[in-house]
Chain A
């Protein structure tokens, strides 16, 4: 019991080296919550166990962006990387036909993410396929008391973001990594268990010299029986991350009592603006996808979500138009409180963006894809890293989709981690070392938490229909619309140019 207690003391994630040298009593991290296979060594198929520098568990958008980023930097391109994902598309490739109807699963990529993609050389693979830049955004709510119109020229940029189908993103990252001069191996299987202090027992055995030299690595067991060693295991396996669970990271969070209905719709003409209207049950967002298509993300309570999913297409289109237009409340008038004269002195000397007032979103003509429903929740891992393990993307944090930030936070994590790994290699550090990984955590955690807090704040603020709160929200709309420095700051933060909301 005493030994168990002393081993449970984890000095901020850094295991004191001398413990590794204790005798047999210390063998096997039995007291540690990080030993996942309950003390039994699973059999590995194959004679020799391959060793990799980095094992990326999860070959989705965020995991692959980490791989591409490592492949693109001179300091890290010599690393040997294993990608573990049972999705056969990673091995067979993703075939996309340009005539295909648009997939309902899309992501809004911020300009910051776009430039990171360009840096790693993946953007060129995306350009032949459907993707849509938008330079305007309008946000309002059902009370009709206020609205905000954002324009890219408010921050002297060409676009506020780009909407891309997830399969296009994945395919371009896959092509980028396949064409890169990079040592990688894709393991088409699932992670079953992981041990983070293997080989301690074998220190006592003679003759198994190869085991002794592997003592400072993570050992992964996959579902098809293969095993591999890695200096660093990156968990990029999504919100139900296996790596996060096996490494024993606790999470904080709650389920929103809301589901999101996602689908693609078609208009009569091109839509070039992103629209978001906050309704009593949750926001509805209309995002331009190109070729007269738009993507709908409609958040509502679970019962309504089920109804909307199962109703006929014609009825659904009607409810969508209703929700975007006159449903639930009036349109905001363009001039409230005298065309914003009260606020004009805030932006003295700087012309307000003269966006031309409130516009009604384009009518939806028909449904262009199936309707999908997803439950929404907020979840945050209390720690992102420990020795040999780092979490990125949804494995570390899941957020509400109301600002289209989720995957952008994930890409931010991936690029930050790859930069930190590059810095470590420049000074000869061991990439699995906890102190190094803590640097990555210290960079990303505050930024991610700040964003999550803001999004959660919005979600809560808009879920209550209470007179004074409605007026406050309206005041918020007006402030954001007419106070130019505030508007610029909001756009800048949401575009990923600014890491933290206030202190830059």
Chain B
């Protein structure tokens, strides 16, 4: 289903590879944290990122739980049917896999992953979320094996942790330096391992739905949860992932059907989208 997108993504990344000249609109953002040619330095302190966005993380965690909880079963299913992974009709397809959920919030994704057999590590920069996640996970013996840490991706890289799959959903739009964040996520992934990132597209439609409708009209999220300028377009995400040695294999969008109240995967990446990539083998 995402093959059309795949072609689009590949075409875009090929174009970007060949021409270093940025289009006028992109040039406007050249000075932004996103497309600067300055190599992200490993010594950048993670402190500004976490303190600056900690409030946002808090908002994000509590309230994205409302929206994300509706999407996470679909996300988990999408992850399960991606190419290299195991038998989708097994009850525990992730048995033996180590997965890290970066920005886990209350554990809404970590728990289903654990129930599907994975050894899950959930990290979040906000301590309150970790506490809530731990209490809820302890209610069920299957999910009580989840390792929750109040830390950041950068700190995990310093600890030299490696995972078979790194999943970071609805986090990168809250991060001060997405390129550096992707470098950290990539460093956590083993070669040929999987990296799944979901975020919101920087499009007019996303402004209308994810910010105006979701925050101001429907009150699904507190006002100020998202900043439109922090959103990434699929092309930008692919670019920064490529620079982090991640090859994006699949991309899909999420659409919400207000009549049925259900989220579903589609080719429409104009608002929410998710990307699946693999770490290049060294």
- A residues with a Cβ closer than 8 A to B are 17, 21, 74-76, 78, 212-216, 425-430
Contacts and interface: CB of A to CB of B under 8 A. Distances in A.
Nearest to B135: A21
A21 B135 CA distance: 9
A425 B112 CA distance: 9
B113 to A, nearest CB: 6
Contacts of A78: 91
Contacts of A76: 91
Nearest to A17: B136
Contacts of B88: 426
A21 B77 CA distance: 30
A74 B90 contact: yes
A429 B142 CA distance: 12
Contacts, number: 49
A426 B77 CA distance: 7
B116 interface: yes
From DSSP, what is the main secondary structure of chain A's interface residues?
Answer: loop
Given A74-B90, A75-B89, A75-B91, A428 B112 contact: yes
B140 A427 contact: no
B140 to A, nearest CB: 6
Contact of A215 (B73, B116, B139): B139
Given A21-B135, A74-B89, A213 B140 contact: yes
Nearest to B140: A216
A429 B113 CA distance: 9
Listed residue (B77, B91, B138) with the most chain A CB atoms within 10 angstroms of its CB: B91
A428 B111 CA distance: 7
A75 B91 CA distance: 5
A21 B139 CA distance: 12
A429 B73 contact: yes
A429 B139 contact: no
A41 B140 CA distance: 22
A324 B113 CA distance: 63
Contacts of B218: none
B141 interface: yes
A429 B112 CA distance: 5
Contacts of B63: none
Interface in B200-223: none
B139 A428 contact: no
B275 interface: no
B98 to A, nearest CB: 16
B27 interface: no
Contacts of A429: 73, 112, 115
Interface of B: 73-74, 76-77, 80, 88-91, 111-116, 132, 135-136, 138-141, 144
Nearest to A424: B73
Contacts of B115: 425, 428-430
Given A74-B89, A430-B140, 13 more contacts: A78-B91, A213-B138, A213-B139, A213-B140, A216-B139, A425-B115, A426-B91, A427-B73, A427-B74, A427-B112, A428-B73, A428-B116, A429-B115
A425 B140 contact: no
A429 B75 CA distance: 12
Contacts of B144: 213
A212 B138 contact: yes
Contacts of B89: 74-75, 426
Given A21-B135, A74-B90, A78-B91, A428 B76 contact: yes
Contacts of B90: 74-75
11 contacts: A17-B136, A74-B91, A75-B91, A76-B91, A213-B139, A213-B141, A215-B139, A427-B112, A428-B76, A428-B116, A430-B115
Contacts of B141: 213
B113 A428 contact: yes
Contacts of A215: 139
A445 to B, nearest CB: 15
Given A74-B89, A75-B91, A428 B135 contact: no
B114 A428 contact: yes
A75 B113 CA distance: 15
Nearest to A216: B139
Contacts of A216: 139-140
A76 B91 CA distance: 7
Contacts of A17: 136
A388 to B, nearest CB: 12
Listed residue (A21, A216, A428, A430) with the most chain B CB atoms within 10 angstroms of its CB: A428
